[in-house]
Copies of this chain bind each other. A is one copy, B any other.
Amino acid sequence: MTDESRIWTAALIVVGDEILSGRTQDKNIAQVATWLGVQGIRLREVRVVPDVMEAIVEAVNTLRARNDYLFTTGGIGPTHDDITVDAVAAALGVDVVIHPAARAILENYYATRGGVNEARLRMARVPDGASLIENRISGAPGIHVENVFLMAGVPHITAQMLDALTGTLEGGLPLVSTTIGCWVGESEIADLLRETEKAYAGVQIGSYPFFREGRVGANFVIRSTSESELAECATTLSEGLAALGREPVAGGI
């Protein structure tokens, strides 16, 4: 049974020198964030750390202690710079072991692809006590141990693992949102935004300005766990914009 008043939180650690060098544009933050929202879990913080043992261990210890769930992406492949499993095991104070089912999955997957070698067998290494997260694409599974979920760095493989986890984690009421756009400088309606947010206790309004076609505009994203409060707040904000002579655009611009 879900406690609807409790807020469930998660953190994400993105492991990877390729993100910190600017070579690769991260896509996992948005993907994991969106997926968590659907599970009724809020992503509260993200850290991007290098492929360095102490950096990963520090982040794992800090973030898993103050969130319900911790996700990691990256660093679970077969090569020498893949050290996320070792770092999570060190943070939890457990050994790294070969998971028999992971080994069987890899042996099966590589049976027609040159067989399992030492490097490939690295992908069957897990922190002691872990269970596996299915991955239909590349064989190598994700890993679940205590409140930590280790996933791939390659975004479409991460997507598979998230799909396998869908509906299995306890969460609260999902946060619902609605967007109202307006061709207005956000600085012109800052008072309206602040007062509207204040009038609805369970609602957050984010203001996201843009500059397009030579004009300034903004999208106002209203978030709440209550559909009805969300609708009322959206109506109030739209009426407030109209009263200032600014046309609200439902759904955003």
Residues of chain B with a CB closer than 8 A to A42's CB? 20
- For window 10-37 of A, CB contacts with B under 8 Å fall at 14, 17-27, 29-37
Residues of chain B with a CB closer than 8 A to A55's CB? 44-45
In the assembly, what is the distance between CA of A94 and CA of B106, in Å?
A: 57
Assess the A207–B79 pair: CB atoms within 8 A. Answer: yes
Is A249 at the interface (CB under 8 A from chain B)?
no
- For window 157-181 of A, CB contacts with B under 8 Å fall at 175, 177
Q: Given contacts A45-B49, A77-B207, A154-B209, is CB(A21)–CB(B223) below 8 Å? A: yes
Q: Given contacts A30-B25, A48-B45, is CB(A17)–CB(B187) below 8 Å? A: no
- For window 24-82 of A, CB contacts with B under 8 Å fall at 24-27, 29-37, 42-51, 55, 77-81
Q: Given contacts A79-B193, A188-B114, is CB(A18)–CB(B206) below 8 Å? A: yes
In the assembly, what is the distance between CA of A51 and CA of B137, in Å?
A: 37
In the assembly, what is the distance between CA of A1 and CA of B150, in Å?
A: 44
Q: Given contacts A48-B45, A194-B80, A197-B80, is CB(A119)–CB(B187) below 8 Å? A: yes
Assess the B190–A79 pair: CB atoms within 8 A. Answer: yes
Is A117 at the interface (CB under 8 A from chain B)?
yes
Choose one: B117, B154, B191, B193; the contact of A188 (CB below 8 Å).
B117
In the assembly, what is the distance between CA of A184 and CA of B162, in Å?
A: 27
Choose one: B44, B81, B187, B193; the contact of A50 (CB below 8 Å).
B44
In the assembly, what is the distance between CA of A89 and CA of B187, in Å?
A: 22
A246 to chain B, nearest CB (A): 12
Assess the B211–A137 pair: CB atoms within 8 A. Answer: yes
A177 to chain B, nearest CB (A): 7
Is A138 at the interface (CB under 8 A from chain B)?
yes
Is A204 at the interface (CB under 8 A from chain B)?
yes
